[in-house]
Amino acid sequence: MPELTFGEKLLIARKQLDLYQYEMAERLGVHPNSLTKYERGEGKPHAAVVRMFDLLCEQQGIRFDEYRTEDKSKGAAMKIVLAEKVSPATLAVFAGEPGWEIRTHDQLPEGLPAALAEADALVVRSAVQVDDALLEHAPKLRVIGRAGVGVDNIDAEAATRRGIVVMNTPGANAVAVAELTIGLMIALARKVPAANATMHAGKWDKKNLQGTELRAKTLGILGLGRVGLEVAKRARGFGMEIVGTDPFVSASFARENEIALVPIEELFAKSDYLTLHVGLTPQTHGIINAKTIATMKKGVRIVNCARGELVCDADLAAALKSGKVAGAALDVFTVEPPKDSPYHGLDNVILSPHIAGSTAEAQEAVGIQIAHQVCEYLKLGVVQNAVNVPSLSREEYVQLAPYIDLAGRLGSFLAQAGKGGGKSGIDAIHIVYGGALTEAKTDLVRNAAIAGLLQGSENVNRINAAAVAAERGIRVHEQKEESHRGGAATVLTLVLHTAQGDSRASATVIHGEQPRLLAFDGIDVEAPLEGALVVCRNLDVPGVIGRIGTILGQQGVNIANFALGRERGAAAPGKPVKPVNALAVVQVDEPVAESALEALKVIEALLEARLVKLPDGK
């Protein structure tokens, strides 16, 4: 009877111990990438790793006998529908499973809905729309695999209701994007497009094509996720000095990758080349604009292979024309394909039609990766890169849902209002569960809190948040204790540790669905965690509250809720002492313009005013 491979044993052990890949890698003392290879049957583990694994299994009482008793030559019968064209290597992964029926996109004579009637798995790219109507035809479907990152074409909520896991393949095209980024930097430095164009025009214009070297130049990387790190790795080979900004990366993690972590203002001021690798959030939308460009070096070169909406096109075009920006290379656009682009006719900008991830290797890699993930889920129940399904029963999920939502809101609040204001690297996150949460399965609550704190980071969701935090070198500590906050029986507390200091916030759910802030940085205050909030820190002196209300009114801002609190130990009547710190959380009907926040700064006792944007209430 066939023996299980080391990789198969790893998958089984992780399932039994409920460990993420990075957690198992830590226990075995290997890099997570090595663990991925072992689980896929690639490479032979060192004898020391095997001994560590055997010891772990012995300590935890993990046995593999029940798996060995099965005749693997027969396998469990599965039906896989590949709704879009995949590479031969992807098909080979599925075809290698004994007893599995594989239907490719050109083998669906009665159409996709009919093919899904008996299907266990569906694999798509970006063309097929997997909506609730299609899923009605798939009563046995267990998993949907998306060969790529985006899942816009999949109704994940409908899949969740039907108990179907939705997986994607983040990071599989990181190398492809990084290589194009470096290639575009070289093309800008050496004027390659102009050289090519003049040669095709029959000109030998050598004297006007003198370029510059990348060596000894400063490369600024905005966003240190998978792509940003791959860019840094390659840029080091050119002798570039690398600085980076990412509020969701710890300083120690940046040092390990030989990147100087700097504030975003310093990144803009220092960079000879600036490359963008962040996701699209309210904080990053239009981050390259006239104001930020003005802080950059004259002659900076900008590369964008991330999202078109990160750039204010009119402002960048004006800077290219004036010479403030020497050159730009853009692979992504706000509207694709772009219409009436302000870049047309500018000879110092390189334009490409969103091809950064379009390499044969990357497309094959995402296909092979999703094939392995789907196979491992169907065979062993191991979930990787899922974007929807929690490991909870329906009843447990219903009970926890308000606190999962609360955790995301509290994390987002702390990221925006806490010390660093989303601009300082996160070193650690401390989560304290109180009341009913002490007896609950809190993985999704934890992940929702982390996802809220990392809301500006790329591809972070409630399923992968803990793994992303680990990748970024962010330590996550969890603690369960009984609540002692009077009527609030179930309280969630988050503590954020950053280079700028620590921030702490506590919250609860009232009336079964309404999220409420209970305390922020040592000050008790009850405020709704929804919509637009103006968070003001001030000295507790007369007149501040009135002036805040007056100024917001003058700015046309309507106040929906005004919550107040102050530090304990405030002055008793008739006994003046040094003013303590106070807090105002002002919920407003409309988002507040930057000019309104600036207007508040005239209040002498006001220490700080920040705008926090949270989802609206249900």
Q: Is 354 a catalytic residue?
A: yes
| Distance of alpha carbon 288 from alpha carbon 496, whole angstroms | 28
Contact 191, 214 (CB under 8 A): no
56 domain residue, yes or no: yes
Asked whether the predicted pLDDT for residue 394 surpasses 70, the reply is no
**Structural tokens at position 169:** 């393949």
1 domain residue, yes or no: no
Say if residue 452 is in the same domain as residue 555.
Answer: no
Strand order in the sheet with 475-481: 475-481, 426-434, 492-498, 501-510, 514-520, 523-528
Confidence of residue 354 (pLDDT cuts 50, 70, 90): very high
Q: What would the pLDDT profile of 479-501 be if each residue is shown by its tens digit?
A: 988 755 555 578 999 999 988 88
Asked whether the predicted pLDDT for residue 232 surpasses 50, the reply is yes
Say if residue 475 is in the same domain as residue 401.
Answer: yes
Say if residue 336 is in the same domain as residue 431.
Answer: no
The CATH number given to whatever domain includes residue 591 is 3.30.70.260
| Distance of alpha carbon 240 from alpha carbon 1, whole angstroms | 55
135 domain residue, yes or no: yes
The CATH number given to whatever domain includes residue 454 is 3.30.1330.90
Which residue out of 27, 354, 537, 610 is catalytically annotated? 354
Q: Residue 497 region, left (φ>0) first, then alpha (ψ -120 to 50), else beta? A: beta
Pick from 414, 592, 599: nearest CA to 493:
414
Task: Point out the domain boundary residue: 481, 503, 521.
Answer: 521
pLDDT value at residue 478: 92
Distance of CA 403 to the CA centre of its chain: 21
385 domain residue, yes or no: no
Higher-scoring residue by pLDDT: 63, 210: 210
Say if residue 415 is in the same domain as residue 541.
Answer: no
Asked whether the predicted pLDDT for residue 68 surpasses 80, the reply is no
Residue type for position 145: G
| Distance of alpha carbon 158 from alpha carbon 130, whole angstroms | 9
357 domain residue, yes or no: no
Confidence of residue 573 (pLDDT cuts 50, 70, 90): low
Which residue out of 42, 58, 258, 336 is catalytically annotated? 336
Quick one: 335 exposed, middle or buried, by C-beta within 10 A (0-12, 13-18, 19+)? Answer: exposed
**Structural tokens at position 160:** 């969740």
Query: To which residue do tokens 């998978």 refer?
Result: 226
pLDDT value at residue 577: 63
Quick one: 152 exposed, middle or buried, by C-beta within 10 A (0-12, 13-18, 19+)? Answer: exposed
**Structural tokens at position 495:** 């503590």
pLDDT value at residue 72: 43
Quick one: 334 exposed, middle or buried, by C-beta within 10 A (0-12, 13-18, 19+)? Answer: middle
High-pLDDT (> 70) share of the chain, %: 90
Q: What would the pLDDT profile of 91-146 be if each residue is shown by its tens digit?
A: 999 998 988 999 999 999 999 999 999 999 999 988 899 999 999 999 999 999 99
Burial call 118-128: b when 16+ CB within 10 Å, e when fewer: ebbbbbbbeeb
Contact 224, 249 (CB under 8 A): yes
Confidence of residue 66 (pLDDT cuts 50, 70, 90): low
107 domain residue, yes or no: yes
Say if residue 166 is in the same domain as residue 181.
Answer: no
pLDDT value at residue 28: 86
Rounded average pLDDT over 571-600? 79
Confidence of residue 1 (pLDDT cuts 50, 70, 90): very low
Quick one: 533 exposed, middle or buried, by C-beta within 10 A (0-12, 13-18, 19+)? Answer: buried
Asked whether the predicted pLDDT for residue 464 surpasses 90, the reply is no
Asked whether the predicted pLDDT for residue 34 surpasses 50, the reply is yes
Helix (H) or strand (E) holding 194: helix 192-200
pLDDT value at residue 593: 81
Distance of CA 51 to the CA centre of its chain: 35
Higher-scoring residue by pLDDT: 222, 357: 222
pLDDT value at residue 571: 54
**Structural tokens at position 406:** 């609360």
HSE value, Cβ hemisphere, 13 Å, CA-based, for 508: 20
The CATH number given to whatever domain includes residue 112 is 3.40.50.720
Helix (H) or strand (E) holding 451: helix 443-453
Helix (H) or strand (E) holding 241: strand 241-245
Burial call 76-114: b when 16+ CB within 10 Å, e when fewer: eebbbbbbeebbeebbebbeebeebebbbbeebeeebee
Q: Is 307 a catalytic residue?
A: yes
Rounded average pLDDT over 217-238? 95
Question: Helix H segments across 237-276?
Answer: 251-256, 264-270
pLDDT value at residue 327: 97
Say if residue 533 is in the same domain as residue 501.
Answer: no
Contact 269, 297 (CB under 8 A): yes
pLDDT value at residue 283: 83
> Parallel, antiparallel, or unpaired: how do β-strands 349-351 and 300-304 relate?
unpaired
pLDDT value at residue 385: 82
Which residue out of 226, 307, 372, 446 is catalytically annotated? 307
**Structural tokens at position 422:** 């989303």
Say if residue 421 is in the same domain as residue 517.
Answer: yes
Rounded average pLDDT over 65-90? 73
Say if residue 113 is in the same domain as residue 83.
Answer: yes
pLDDT value at residue 454: 87
Rounded average pLDDT over 275-288? 90
73 domain residue, yes or no: no
DSSP 592: P
Say if residue 532 is in the same domain as residue 554.
Answer: yes
Pick from 56, 69, 72: nearest CA to 16:
56
pLDDT value at residue 392: 55
| Distance of alpha carbon 139 from alpha carbon 118, whole angstroms | 7
Rounded average pLDDT over 543-568? 89
**Structural tokens at position 355:** 């091809």
Q: Is 446 a catalytic residue?
A: no
pLDDT value at residue 356: 92
Q: Residue 382 region, left (φ>0) first, then alpha (ψ -120 to 50), else beta? A: beta
User: What is the DSSP secondary-structure string of 109-171?
Assistant: TT-HHHHGGG-SEEEE-SSS-B-HHHHTT-TT--EEEESSS--TTB-HHHHHHTT-EEE--TT
Query: Strand pairing partners for 497?
Result: 428, 502
Asked whether the predicted pLDDT for residue 5 surpasses 90, the reply is no
39 domain residue, yes or no: yes
Range of the domain at 58: 6-68
DSSP 308: G
Reduced to 3 states (helix: H, G, I; strand: E, B; else coil), residue 386 is strand
pLDDT value at residue 376: 85
Say if residue 219 is in the same domain as residue 309.
Answer: yes
| Distance of alpha carbon 564 from alpha carbon 524, whole angstroms | 8
Pick from 318, 321, 327, 270: nearest CA to 299:
327
Say if residue 214 is in the same domain as residue 306.
Answer: yes
pLDDT value at residue 71: 44
Rounded average pLDDT over 549-570? 86
Higher-scoring residue by pLDDT: 24, 487: 24
Higher-scoring residue by pLDDT: 586, 1: 586
Average pLDDT, the chain: 87
Q: What would the pLDDT profile of 140-186 be if each residue is shown by its tens digit?
A: 999 999 998 778 799 987 887 777 889 998 878 889 999 999 999 99
Contact 328, 301 (CB under 8 A): yes
Say if residue 342 is in the same domain as residue 411.
Answer: no
Rg (CA), the chain: 27
Quick one: 580 exposed, middle or buried, by C-beta within 10 A (0-12, 13-18, 19+)? Answer: middle
Looking at the structure of the chain, the number of domains it has is 5
pLDDT value at residue 286: 95
High-pLDDT (> 90) share of the chain, %: 49
Q: What would the pLDDT profile of 294-333 be if each residue is shown by its tens digit?
A: 999 999 999 999 999 999 999 999 999 999 999 999 999 9
Asked whether the predicted pLDDT for residue 73 surpasses 80, the reply is no
| Distance of alpha carbon 419 from alpha carbon 414, whole angstroms | 8
